[in-house]
A and B are shown apart, each in its own frame.
Chain A
Amino acid sequence: MSNDYDPLRVIPTDAPPTVACRKKGSFEPALTLMGEHDLCPGCGEPLALRQILDSIEALGHAQDAIGVIGIGCYTALTSLMDIDLIQALHGRAPSVATGAKRMRPDNLIFTLQGDGDMVNEGLQEVIHTAARGENVTCILLNNGVFGETGGHMTSTTVLGQRTKNSIEGRDAKQHGYPILIGDLLAGLQGTAYCARASVHDAKGVARTRRFLDRAFTSQEKGQGFSFVEILTMCPTGWFIPTAEGPNYLDEELGAIHEVGELKKDGVLIDRNA
């Protein structure tokens, strides 16, 4: 009997198998401990997290990556992330990452923060870390609301967006304008790589992965500060049916926080060109 394996052969099912099964590929998420989590149906954060962990493994950083985690819904996912982590305070992850990177320059150091964490509470931290050209990667999960508290306005909430404390929609006169954090950080000299992605569809997820790969590669090269903003769905915090999350993200938030690369190798990208 031949042991040659022919993947295209028809497997006879009228008799017990004569050749051992062989696994052809694994499609399990990388660096993930399988277990329960508390996130809502339709949440975009697990999609973003999977791209981050897949990218870390694919680039060979499974055993040197250190994540610094902010406070938000995604904090609950830290129990499932099988990489070394430091839990930071709300807003403070970029400083903690700075200290870790200075002491361990050969490790891949990244932060994971939400828009409330990074753009509200810790805006000065991320700006200073970028301006210093700190060789770390900051990742923003931007859904335009404080999801964990139940859907309140953040600094990235777009005009007209309804939240629990802008119930008639964000109004510029009363609530001011959203901060386009990616654009702000791209303009700083210390920023080497800067991009905005979205996980609202398969193409967007693939793009997210590509941008993350480029940000981590930029850190490997020691180019300075790298930043990836990922727009994520929060149907619970947006008070819309779960299935409408991706379209709402694309049409409402995506129209203001435009997806694309903003800076590469320290050079601003002319998006009108």
Chain B
Amino acid sequence: MSAAESPPNQRRLMEGSEAIAEAAIAAGCRFFSGYPMTPFTEVLECFAKRLPDEGGHCINSESEIEAIGQAWGAAATGARAATGSTGQGLSLMQESMSEITRAEIPIVIFNMARGQGDYFQATRGGGHGDYRHIVLAPESVGEATELTQLAFHLADQWRHPVVIYGDYLIAHTAEAVQIEKINFGPLPDKDWAVDGSLGGTGRSRNVNPIGMEKGSKGIDPNKFWQKLSDKEDRIQEAEQRFEVEQAEDAELLIVAFGTLARFARAAIRDLRADGLKVGLFRPISLWPFPAQALRDAASGCKRVAVLEQNAGQMIDDVQLSLLGSVPVVAIGGISTDAAGFGIGALLDSDRIAARARDAYAGKPVPRGVVS
């Protein structure tokens, strides 16, 4: 049944791509721009199909660089706007993402990543300069619909870009979901957004990433950077999100994010059945990283095992959170399919359980590519 025949707020089977687009539209997103790339393409398709009906615009951008620019312009007028791609496409967008952060323009960016190798790109700013984005990593289609709506809210609340870190499984798994507009509470007025109305009044706006102020020559770099730096501190304090499972008695705590956490959960069920005390810590916000919560969850553990589908990226944040208080081992690794879409051998709960068993027993876990 197509979206046109069935209202989106009915519970029905939807692919992640469609569910994300519907959730964004429910959140009031009326502008999307994108360039096709697997596994992100279907997100663009769904917006292209749905946004015109809602009085919005979807532009089939000629490049990722133009896609982010177009979303930038739409968002600067105060509209809820989004763009997206895979990590490769986001690489092309980084220059703009950096400037948009400094210009304090709320925007949502979907990364339907090819695996988990874009963790650094997502959480370290990713482009030039000194900044971070809010990054939310859903583990399921259902959670993706909630986090998508939350992303638009947080973007407006903080005037800050929010990245949704999904993957092939999020984009292409069909789950039964029901999408209803979620009310996250009041937001500040967008009196900073350009509508042209203040021209000639001496109070006209300049939404800019360089600290330019009307009527004054040059900029005040200290004031400009202090404001941004204070804001990122406040975000770091307020927006840490995570999930902890069976950590109370755990000897081994597995840390995993995104869809890989679901495979970890299945592995933990089997390990628990065998009497092994294993728990799960799942960061939902990759930045800000839930450091204190991880420290608390890991406090009684013998070991922390980081499960990620890359050569070791989130493990840095785990180690920075624990500061040597608990030994940390990597049980993931690079793991992909021939096409490079991130559907690798690590997406297997038995294989994960075997690697966790080694870590549990204090045995070395094989490093490198998981094939």
- Indicate if B295 sits at the interface (CB-CB under 8 A): no
Q: Report the Cα distance A76→B214, complex, angstroms.
A: 10
Stretch at the interface among A29-37, A140-148, A168-176: A29-37
A100-B76 CB under 8 A given contacts A64-B197, A79-B215, A92-B69:
yes
In the complex, what residue of chain A is closest to B60 when comparing beta carbons? Answer: A132
A57-B200 CB under 8 A given contacts A89-B69, A95-B66, A103-B30:
yes
Residues in A neighbouring B243, C-beta threshold 8 A: none
Number of A-B pairs whose CB atoms are under 8 Å?
A: 172
Q: Report the Cα distance A132→B146, complex, angstroms.
A: 35
Q: Report the Cα distance A101→B62, complex, angstroms.
A: 17
Contact B66 A89 (CB under 8 A): no
Q: Report the Cα distance A79→B79, complex, angstroms.
A: 25
Q: Report the Cα distance A64→B196, complex, angstroms.
A: 4
- Indicate if A102 sits at the interface (CB-CB under 8 A): yes
In the complex, what residue of chain B is closest to A136 when comparing beta carbons? Answer: B73
Partner pick for A79 among B31, B61, B213, CB 8 A cutoff: B213
Residues in B neighbouring A76, C-beta threshold 8 A: 217
Contact B214 A87 (CB under 8 A): no
- Indicate if B365 sits at the interface (CB-CB under 8 A): no
Contact A87 B197 (CB under 8 A): no
Q: Report the Cα distance A141→B69, complex, angstroms.
A: 21
Partner pick for A35 among B30, B67, B95, B215, CB 8 A cutoff: B215
Q: Report the Cα distance A80→B214, complex, angstroms.
A: 6
For chain B, which range describes its interface: under 10, 10 to 19, 20 to 34, or 35 or more residues?
A: 35 or more
- Indicate if B371 sits at the interface (CB-CB under 8 A): no
- Indicate if A68 sits at the interface (CB-CB under 8 A): yes
Residues in A neighbouring B77, C-beta threshold 8 A: 66, 99-100, 103-104
Residues in B neighbouring A37, C-beta threshold 8 A: 217
Stretch at the interface among B117-125, B174-182, B201-209, B313-321: B201-209
Partner pick for B210 among A56, A86, A87, A107, CB 8 A cutoff: A87
Contact A96 B206 (CB under 8 A): no
Contact A99 B217 (CB under 8 A): no
- Indicate if B349 sits at the interface (CB-CB under 8 A): no
In the complex, what residue of chain A is closest to B205 when comparing beta carbons? Answer: A84
Nearest CB in chain B: distance from A105 CB, A = 10
Q: Report the Cα distance A61→B33, complex, angstroms.
A: 28
Contact B212 A102 (CB under 8 A): no
- Indicate if A4 sits at the interface (CB-CB under 8 A): no
Contact B70 A95 (CB under 8 A): yes
A62-B200 CB under 8 A given contacts A95-B69, A96-B73:
yes
In the complex, what residue of chain B is closest to A108 when comparing beta carbons? Answer: B196
- Indicate if A82 sits at the interface (CB-CB under 8 A): yes
- Indicate if B74 sits at the interface (CB-CB under 8 A): yes
- Indicate if A207 sits at the interface (CB-CB under 8 A): no
Q: Report the Cα distance A30→B206, complex, angstroms.
A: 18
Contact B96 A89 (CB under 8 A): yes
- Indicate if A256 sits at the interface (CB-CB under 8 A): no
Contact B216 A79 (CB under 8 A): yes
A31-B196 CB under 8 A given contacts A89-B95, A100-B73, A128-B66:
no
- Indicate if A242 sits at the interface (CB-CB under 8 A): no
In the complex, what residue of chain B is closest to A76 when comparing beta carbons? Answer: B217
Contact B206 A87 (CB under 8 A): yes
A98-B70 CB under 8 A given contacts A82-B214, A86-B207, A103-B57:
yes
- Indicate if A259 sits at the interface (CB-CB under 8 A): no
Give chain B interface residues in 194-237, CB to chain A under 8 Å. Answer: 194-202, 204-210, 212-218
20 A-B interface contacts by CB (under 8 A): A33-B202, A38-B217, A64-B197, A66-B77, A66-B194, A66-B195, A85-B205, A86-B208, A89-B96, A96-B70, A99-B72, A101-B73, A102-B31, A102-B59, A102-B70, A103-B30, A104-B196, A108-B196, A124-B66, A125-B66
Additional pairs, 19, CB under 8 Å, beyond known A33-B214, A84-B198, A124-B62: A33-B215, A61-B199, A64-B195, A64-B196, A82-B201, A84-B195, A86-B194, A88-B73, A89-B95, A89-B96, A92-B69, A95-B66, A99-B76, A100-B73, A100-B74, A102-B73, A103-B57, A125-B65, A125-B69
Chain A contact residues, CB within 8 Å of chain B: 30-31, 33, 35-38, 56-57, 61-66, 68, 75-76, 78-89, 92, 94-104, 107-108, 124-125, 128
